Amino acid sequence: MLDRAVAGLATVLTRYSITALRISLGLVFLGFGVLKFFPGMSPAAELAERTIGTLTFGLVGPTAALLLTAIMETVIGLTLVTGLFLRTGLVILAAALVGIMSPIVLFYGELFPAGGPTLTGQYVLKDIVLACAGAVIGAAALGARLRLPQE
């Protein structure tokens, strides 16, 4: 009986886990993106502004940086949640991940002082999980499939 339960669970996970991952990652990006449209609502607004400012050598100002980030994250979220234009959303996600992960390099000393990561540092570190989830979703969008051993 336990073997049948495990086999049933494996079947359900194989069938639905990547879709669930895609939708949940989309909701995270959608939520983070929408917050950035409202001044003072996103705890990551200042970090996004500084990161894009640094990456563009000051060519993109704080307001434009935050708006660009909000639009990108919202579009990524919508493509992941709906599955429409998924490949386009994944390309935007890949580009966005450069900016999302950049604070680890650009502001390492601030994010990880001698005593360990700050709250902002922890916020950036969780993005590693988002990047890995995006990689799994990207692999599935390009044709990779989960299979049970007997398939």
Give the residue-averaged pLDDT of 122-149: 92
| Helix pair 62-82, 86-106: axis angle to 10 deg | 140
pLDDT of residue 96: 94
The Cα–Cα gap between 6 and 3 comes to: 5
pLDDT at 115 over 80: no
83 pLDDT band, cuts 50/70/90, is very high
150 pLDDT band, cuts 50/70/90, is confident
| Helix pair 127-141, 86-106: axis angle to 10 deg | 150
146 pLDDT band, cuts 50/70/90, is confident
More confident call, 7 vs 138: 138
151 pLDDT band, cuts 50/70/90, is low
Identify the DSSP state of 59: -
* Lowest-confidence region among 49-53, 61-65, 113-117, 125-129: 113-117
Give the residue-averaged pLDDT of 94-102: 93
Q: Among the residues of 1-150, which ranges form H helices?
A: 2-35, 45-55, 62-82, 86-106, 108-111, 119-125, 127-141
Query: Would you kindly state where each structural domain of the chain is located, as residue ranges?
Result: 17-142
pLDDT at 17 over 90: yes
pLDDT at 95 over 90: yes
